[in-house]
Amino acid sequence: MPPSRLFIPWLLFLIGLALPQLASARLESAIAAYHRHEYRIAAEGFQEDAKRGDPVAQYFLGSLYLEGKGLIQNHRSAIFWFRRAADQGDPAARYNLARMYSQGLGVTRDYAAAIALLQPLAQAGDAPAQFSLGYLYDNGLGVPRDALKAADWYGKAAKRDHALAQHNLGFLYLQGRGITQDLKQAVYWYRKAAETGNSDAQYGLGRLYHSGQGVAKNIRIALSWYQKAASQDHAQAQYNLAQLLRQSLGATADLETARNWYKRAARQGHTRAQYNLAYLYAHGLGGDPEAGKALHWYRSASLAGHAAAQGNLAALYANGKGTPRDPLRAYAWWRVASMNDNQRAHEYSKRIAAELHPMELADGRELGWLLWAIQTSDKEATP
């Protein structure tokens, strides 16, 4: 998955924070309550010290307001306390304040303000801040898009074992964007991130082994990495894994397991998985034929603009499989499929039109235009 499709994954600094000497036993007790998930007790303890100006208490109080734990969620109050702590040099507060400026939480979105807060943290060697700066440069958020600077900041964070930075750096090496294309470096950084459990990197490494880019092609290893990412609900990995299991590439064909992986991806809105799952249900592959389920998943893929699914859905309506026979809906969906360059659909729509009364035909045309208008255009990339 390219970095531009990732939401910037900000983190709350709660563990491993370099805390100054605690100002009071009350503050120490509040922090202990926080880590026991007793947030209301923690909030009561933080309030007094925060008002007295303790940056640690201010930071934690801001975090509780941000997360809505122990207190009613209030982004403006979170901003207030993070800003108070940040003004005293608290690095975690600066980072989370940058997060809120970047996402427009409790304040007007302001990438420039976020960058100003992140810059000194990144220069001091803070890996999450370095990654965040890289992401902003990578996507041109608050700064001109600059792949070279993105690669530089990703590289700094990647060397500090920041998994997301490792993945995004690997992607830049794969693309040759901002740095010279180097497939072996792409494999290296994907592997580093994948071994920490990053599902995007696991999927990316699987694709490299699947296609033989930067490594010798090895379907068995590709399956292994797809499996790891798929187990973390990575929809594209689930789809690719199902495809390999179905095609018997590097493994004995296992249509039942393929059906299950298609189903998991389909439930996440993966259009091609929805189409393939419907096909397996329709033809009884990997289990008993289930026309009703085939109809359901063909409809989902059809509404996402999948032309083959639209044609097959029309055929189910035309033949009364999984639903009462409905020539009007069959006509409408074949018209939509033909507008999406399904070559056979045009001929089929002409044939079934002969069954319709002129008024039904007009309704079918109107329904076809409506379905055409509401379909989406999600297109997943597959190797």
Cα angle vertex 11, ends 138, 182, to 5°? 35
What tokens were used for 361?
A: 């035909």
Cα–Cα distance, 210 to 265 (Å, whole number)? 19
What tokens were used for 266?
A: 């389909």
Cα–Cα distance, 161 to 93 (Å, whole number)? 22
Contact yes or no for 291/316 (Cβ under 8 A): yes
| pLDDT tens digits in sequence order for the chain, 383 residues long | 333 323 344 444 433 344 444 457 889 999 999 999 999 999 999 999 999 999 999 999 999 999 999 999 999 999 999 999 999 999 999 999 999 999 999 999 999 999 999 999 999 999 999 999 999 999 999 999 999 999 999 999 999 999 999 999 999 999 999 899 999 999 999 999 999 999 999 999 999 999 999 999 999 999 999 999 999 999 999 999 999 999 875 455 789 999 999 999 999 999 999 999 999 999 999 999 999 999 999 999 999 999 999 999 999 999 999 999 999 999 999 999 999 999 899 999 999 999 999 999 999 999 999 999 988 644 444 44
Cα–Cα distance, 57 to 224 (Å, whole number)? 46
Contact yes or no for 22/46 (Cβ under 8 A): no
Nearest to 101 by CA among 91, 93, 111, 92: 111
* Number of Cβ within a 10 Å radius of residue 320: 13
CATH of the domain spanning 1-11+23-109, picked from 3.20.20.70, 3.10.510.20, 3.40.50.2300, 1.25.40.10: 1.25.40.10
Cα–Cα distance, 209 to 187 (Å, whole number)? 9
Any idea what DSSP says for residue 322?
Answer: S
Using CA atoms, how far residue 3 sits from 9, 152, 172, 279, 313, in Å, is 11, 15, 9, 32, 35
Q: Give the burial string for 8-34 (b: 16+ CB within 10 Å, else e).
A: bebeebeeeeeeeebeeebbeebbebb
Nearest to 46 by CA among 20, 66, 28: 28
* Number of Cβ within a 10 Å radius of residue 185: 17
Residue bearing tokens 């909030």 = 43
Cα–Cα distance, 50 to 27 (Å, whole number)? 9
Contact yes or no for 253/220 (Cβ under 8 A): no
Using CA atoms, how far residue 320 sits from 35, 309, 314, 325, 329, in Å, is 59, 16, 10, 4, 11
Cα–Cα distance, 62 to 79 (Å, whole number)? 7
| Amino acid, res. 59 | Y
**How high is the pLDDT of residue 129?**
96
Using CA atoms, how far residue 30 sits from 24, 34, 337, in Å, is 10, 6, 62
